[in-house]
Structures are given as C-alpha cells and as structure tokens.
C-alpha cells in the first residue's frame, strides 16, 4: 500500500490547512454563539447591582463577565455607545477595556481538534479507496515503473520426475540441478559452480514445461514461473521492471527456481537492421544483467524453455548465462510406451492394454499428443457408456488426433465412394508389393472431419531411426498409388490426391537437396531447414541456374515414382478390384484382412 503515500500526503496537507481554518474562524464563531445575549438595559441593570466585573468592547458587541456568587458567566449585548456607560462603569468599579480571557475548557479544546481530524481521515480513506477502484486495479495500480504483476510462487508444483516419462537424458541432467538446490552449500564449499541457467530445447509438447515443474517438485523449492509471452503484452517499460522484480523475489526466496517459458519471445536475437523492438530489447537487457548480477552460490537456478533455440540472442547462450542446453526430443518407442503408461495411470483402463502396439502406431507423436490421445480415448469410453477405457478406444483416438473425427453424417455419393476405395487400395497395394515399407495396419473410407475421405494407416513393427534412399523412394511410390489407381481404373484425376502430392513433392525435394541421394547433385545441400523443432519449411540455398536444374530433377524423380506405382497396380489389377469391392462393403478393414485377400492373388508375399 505504500505506493499510495504520495497522493495521501497531499491530502493530509489539505486536512491540516482546513483544520487551522476551522480553529481560527469557525470555532470562535461557534463559541461566540454559545455566549448568552442580554438586553442593553439588563446589562446596565447588572452593572448597577454590582454583578459585572469586567467589560470588553468589541466591534459590534459588548462582552462582559458576571460574577454570580463565585461563578463567572460570560454575557454579551449589543453596542450602545454613550459617555454615560463609562461613568457608570467607573462608579461601579468595573474593570473595562481589558481583554476577557475565554477559557473554552480542556475537553472543548481537545474536541475541537480531534473530531475534525478523525472526520477528515475517515473521508480520506473512503476517497482513496474508491479512487483506487476506479483506476481499475487492486493495490497499487496508481504507480508505474514498478511492476505489480503477480509472480506465481507455487511452493509445490505437485509434479515430480515420475510424471515425466521417457526423457531420461534430460532428467539425468536436471537431477544435478536438483542436488544443487537441495544443498547449495556442498557445491560452494568445494568451489564448484553450477551453471546459473539451463535451457530446455525441443519441439512443442515434449514436456519442457513439465520437466521444469518436476525439478521444482523434486527439489521442493519455490517455483517462480513466467512465460515470455506475458512480457510481450505489457506496457512499455514494464517488461524490464518485471524481470527486476522477478529476480528480487527469487533472491529473497533462494534456493528456488526461476522458470522462463517460451524465452524466444523476449530472447530473440537483437539486430538493428530491422528497427528492433525497443521494449523487447530492454527486457532482454534487463534479463542479461540480472543473470550476471545474482550470486550463483545462493541457489537460484534459472530454467528456460524454447522450441526455437536458433533465434536466441547469442548473449543469452554465452557462459555464465544459459550455458547448458538440455535437449528434450520427441519420444522414441520406449519413451512413447512410458508416456502412454503414465497417462493411462490417470484413467481407468481395461487390464489388457497393449501399450507397445499403441506406441508403434504413434511414431512422431509428442508427449502432449499422447496425453491428448489417452484423454480422447477416455471421452470415447464415456460417450459409449462404458466404465473403462479399452485398447480400441485409444486406437480410435489416435486416428482422431491424426485424421480428425469420423464424419458419419457426411454423405458421399456411391460413385465418389468407389473412387475413394480404389484410391486407398491403390496406396495399400503399392505398400504391400514393395519391400522396405511399413505394413498396412488399417484401411478406411469413413470420412473424417479433417477432410480426408479415407486413408491407409501404416504401422511399423519397430522403431526406425535411419531411412535409406530406397525407403524414401518407396514412400514416394506409395504416395503416387492413389492417383495412379484413379487414372488406371477410372481414367480420371481427382482432387483427392492433393495431400499426397504435397507430401510427395516435399519428399522429392528432400531426397535430392537435403538428403543428397542423387548423383546429379551429389552431397550438396540445396535447401535449408528453417527451424528444426517446428517442422519448419525448407528454404532454397541455390543460384537461379541450379534452381532450375533442381526443379527438373525433382520432376524426373516424381515421374519415376509415379511410373513405378502404375506398373505395380497394373500387375495386381485382380487384387485391386477384389480389395476395393471388399472395402466398399466393409468401409473399414484391418491389415490382416487386407493381406489375406492379397495372398489369394499373390503367392510370393
Ligand atoms: P512443452 O512445454 O514442451 O511444449 P509441456 O511440458 O507443456 O510441453 O507438455 C504438455 C503436456 O504433455 C504435459 O502436461 C503432459 O501431460 C504431456 N507430456 C509431454 N511430455 C510428457 C512426458 N515426457 N511424459 C508425460 N507426459 C508428457
Ligand atoms: Mg511449454
Ligand atoms: Zn491418397
């Protein structure tokens, strides 16, 4: 509340002036009012009877004291100037012309000061309170330059490393920080310095925020958390003030953790070329100087998270600041199994869930995706009135996350359905008739909310870390399978292949310019990945001349894949018809059903 002192000082000043005025003018007036007034004739009578002891002539009245048997009473009467009065006074031995001392009495004088004082204070309080409310804030919005932003101190985040599945390397690195927070003194006594800050980097949803909370939970220390985006929405000058406050509070509460989420929003590289953002730079500068300023031995550890480490200002990454980077990557197969298990703990599941199958079907999914899938599965179980989540629920929800909800209400004409069925079986056939491809898991022509009219789901039997040139090419051929089927069977081309085409082209570009699989361009990087963790686009890195050659090579590669797909479908047209009809009838078929029918036509698979 001390931020309001300034306006209140002014107010108290006004109060004192008012009280002085009150005492000088109003109070005597009131006092005067209380003096009893008598007729002039009565006054003269009183003089004659010897009761009057003192007389004072004032401007417009005569004040006199009467001794009424030992008690002095004050009277007043109107002016009546005459010589006789003085004679009369002299005759009766009355003191006159002297000042009559008025003693208001101790209580009266006390009240004359205290009552107004209290009244004014009370009014002042009311006024200042309503004033604050009007200005729209709780305490202290009347002052700027000092941040009033709440800083969250959650003594317990409630999270521990047990809640973070997989990410063993990251946890290992963070355990050292936990040890440090438990006992900063042990490090100090040896003279070992722990990094002041660690930066968690990785794609969205991999558990960076979760890990930071888990560190606080494990170390059992206060957790000051702030998100970079919160700085952005603040008034000018507030960002830096907030950083200052944050570190001040953290210093008082040490040992503790300061967590700056999404640090890229303030930590962006400072460059003058593009008329930099002053506010952001101020905030960043404040952060840099605070990081230098605080005593690393005290036990304040700064964690930050970002998925765009490449745009961070180099000053943030130099030793003494965020010199330790902890990668938090997308989970591998074991990691996904573990994450499924962690989240399945929170819902009631049937006992026979096969987590490995689920994990195999979710290659490339992040922890957040998996959490979402388990939850979608639980919602599905509730919708269908069951009391536990089944394997089927989660499998369905995996597809929901990948392809969107089923749109049973969408009406697809029989002719379109036929095209979709042949298109999808085209993909599946090309998949099955090539080597080095992931097996077909499921084929469906039930439309999805994402707009897909059908799709083939492939699930690898094991986790893949490397892909050969052949595998990438086979993948391209699979992507060509749908359109090839439309051309072969219906002699038409539909827009249903647009998504395939997009992926195909990107893959072809990478095949040549990113993976260096062709002889023509050898191991030259023709494209660059923009941001590693956000699935960023490729940007070109070539002269106009070679760009043309590059494009031509991409055309040729795609054409080659397309031709191979057509060739495969031509060879298997019997199976194609049989499978497409079966799919039209069932709408959704499993990989096993698919293989069973295919084997009737081919004995080599
Ligand atoms: P990030 O900060 O990396 O974008 P979060 O930490 O916010 O991701 O993760 C979002 C949610 O995803 C978490 O609340 C958690 O439910 C889930 N999650 C992510 N990674 C994991 C993991 N390794 N183990 C368990 N849950 C995870
Ligand atoms: Mg996060
Ligand atoms: Zn397709």
pLDDT for 96-144, tens place per residue? 776 776 665 666 667 777 777 777 777 777 776 665 554 443 333 333 4
Q: Is 368 in the pocket of ligand 1 (CB under 6 A)?
A: yes
- What is the chain's length? 605
Residue 277, pLDDT > 70, answer no
Which atom of ligand 1 lies at the shortest distance from residue 335's CA?
23
pLDDT band at 273; cut points 50, 70, 90: low
**Structure confidence at residue 177 (pLDDT):** 84
Q: Is 204 in the pocket of ligand 1 (CB under 6 A)?
A: yes
Q: Which residue in 525, 506, 505 sits closest to 515, CA to CA?
A: 525
| Mean pLDDT comparison of 96-100, 366-370, 566-570, highest-scoring range | 566-570
**Structure confidence at residue 6 (pLDDT):** 55
The dihedral through the CA atoms of 67, 71, 74, 77 has a sign that is negative
Name the residue at shortest CA distance from atom 1 of ligand 1: 205
Q: What is the Å distance from ligand 2's center to 260 Cα?
A: 10
Distances (CA, A) of 261 to 43, 206, 224, 256, 318: 91, 13, 11, 16, 19
- Which residues neighbour 194 within 8 Å (Cβ) at sequence distance 6 or greater? 176, 177, 180, 187, 296, 301
pLDDT for 28-79, tens place per residue? 676 666 778 888 888 888 888 878 888 887 777 888 888 777 777 888 887 7
Catalytic residue among 230, 290, 395, 424: 424
Q: What is the pTM of this model?
A: 0.66
Q: Which residue in 303, 233, 313 sits closest to 268, CA to CA?
A: 313
pLDDT for 489-541, tens place per residue? 999 999 989 999 999 999 999 999 999 999 999 998 888 877 777 766 778 87
Q: Is 164 in the pocket of ligand 1 (CB under 6 A)?
A: yes
pLDDT for 217-266, tens place per residue? 888 888 888 887 776 665 566 778 888 888 888 888 878 888 888 888 88
Q: Is 203 in the pocket of ligand 1 (CB under 6 A)?
A: no
Q: What is the Å distance from ligand 2's center to 208 Cα?
A: 6
| Mean pLDDT comparison of 12-16, 46-50, 336-340, 357-361, highest-scoring range | 336-340
Q: Which residue has the higher pLDDT, 142 or 326?
A: 326
The fraction of the chain above a pLDDT of 90, given in percent, is 30
Name the residue of 343, 371, 374 to mutate for ligand 1: max ligand atoms within 8 A of Cβ: 371
What is the arithmetic mean of pLDDT over 385-390?
Answer: 92
Q: Is 206 in the pocket of ligand 1 (CB under 6 A)?
A: yes
Q: What is the Å distance from ligand 1's center to 240 Cα?
A: 29
Q: What is the Å distance from ligand 3's center to 541 Cα?
A: 30
Can 424 be counted among the known catalytic residues? yes
**Structure confidence at residue 474 (pLDDT):** 95
Instruction: Give the bridge partners for 306, in sequence order.
Output: 201
The Cα 24–Cα 71 span in angstroms is 28
Q: Which residue has the higher pLDDT, 86 or 551?
A: 551
Residue 145, pLDDT > 50, answer no
Q: What is the Å distance from ligand 3's center to 589 Cα?
A: 16
Q: Which residue has the higher pLDDT, 540 or 377?
A: 377
């Amino acid at each position: 509340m001390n931020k309001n002192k300034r306006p209140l000082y002014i107010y108290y000043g006004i109060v004192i002036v008012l009280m002085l005025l009150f005492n000088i003018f109003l109070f005597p007036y009131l006092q005067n009012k209380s003096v009893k007034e008598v007729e002039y004739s009565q006054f003269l009578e009183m003089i004659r009877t010897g009761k009057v002891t003192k007389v004072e002539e004032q401007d417009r009245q005569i004040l006199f004291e009467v001794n009424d048997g030992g008690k002095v009473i004050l009277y007043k009467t109107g002016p009546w100037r005459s010589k006789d009065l003085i004679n009369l006074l002299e005759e009766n031995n009355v003191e006159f012309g002297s000042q009559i001392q008025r003693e208001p009495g101790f209580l009266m004088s006390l009240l004359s000061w205290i009552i107004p004082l209290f009244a004014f204070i009370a009014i002042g309080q009311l006024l200042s309170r309503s004033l604050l409310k009007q200005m729209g804030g709780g305490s202290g919005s009347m002052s700027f330059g000092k941040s009033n932003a709440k800083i969250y101190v959650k003594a317990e985040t409630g999270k521990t490393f047990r809640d973070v599945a997989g990410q063993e390397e990251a946890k290992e690195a963070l355990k050292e920080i936990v040890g440090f927070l438990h006992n900063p003194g042990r490090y100090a006594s040896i003279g070992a310095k722990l990094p002041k800050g660690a930066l968690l980097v990785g794609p969205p949803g991999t558990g960076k925020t979760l890990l930071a909370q888990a560190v606080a939970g494990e170390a059992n220390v206060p957790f000051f958390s702030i998100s970079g985006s919160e700085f952005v929405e603040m008034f000018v000058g507030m960002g830096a003030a907030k950083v200052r406050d944050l570190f001040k509070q953290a210093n008082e509460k040490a040992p503790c953790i300061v967590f700056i989420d999404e640090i890229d929003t303030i930590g962006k590289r400072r460059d003058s070329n593009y008329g930099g953002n002053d506010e952001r730079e101020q905030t960043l500068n404040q952060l840099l100087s605070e990081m230098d300023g605080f005593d690393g031995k005290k036990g304040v550890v700064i964690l930050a998270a970002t998925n765009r480490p490449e745009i961070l200002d180099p000053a943030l990454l130099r030793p003494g600041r965020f010199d330790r980077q902890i990668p938090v990557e997308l989970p591998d197969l074991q990691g996904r199994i573990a994450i499924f298990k962690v989240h399945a703990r929170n819902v009631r599941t049937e006992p026979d869930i096969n987590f490995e199958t689920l994990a195999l079907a979710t290659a490339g999914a992040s922890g957040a995706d998996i959490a979402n899938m388990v939850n979608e599965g639980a919602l599905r179980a509730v919708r269908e009135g069951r009391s536990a989540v089944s394997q089927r629920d989660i499998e369905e929800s995996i597809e929901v996350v990948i392809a969107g909800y089923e749109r049973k209400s969408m009406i697809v004409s029989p002719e379109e359905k036929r095209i979709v069925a042949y298109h999808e079986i085209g993909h599946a056939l090309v998949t099955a008739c090539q080597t080095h491809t992931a097996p077909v898991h499921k084929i469906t022509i039930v439309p999805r909310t994402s707009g897909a009219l059908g799709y083939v789901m492939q699930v690898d039997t094991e986790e893949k870390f490397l892909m050969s040139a052949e595998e990438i090419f086979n993948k391209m051929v699979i992507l060509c399978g749908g359109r090839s089927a439309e051309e072969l069977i219906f002699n038409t081309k539909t827009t249903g292949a647009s998504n395939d085409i997009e992926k195909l082209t990107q893959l072809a570009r990478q095949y040549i310019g990113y993976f260096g699989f062709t002889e023509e361009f050898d191991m030259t990087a023709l494209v660059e990945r923009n941001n590693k963790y956000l699935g960023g686009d490729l940007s070109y890195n070539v002269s106009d001349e070679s760009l043309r050659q590059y494009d031509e090579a991409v055309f040729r590669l795609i054409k080659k894949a397309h031709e191979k797909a057509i060739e495969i479908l031509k060879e298997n047209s019997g199976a194609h018809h049989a499978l497409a009809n079966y799919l039209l009838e069932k709408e959704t078929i499993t990989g096993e059903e698919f293989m069973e029918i295919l084997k009737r036509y081919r004995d080599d698979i």
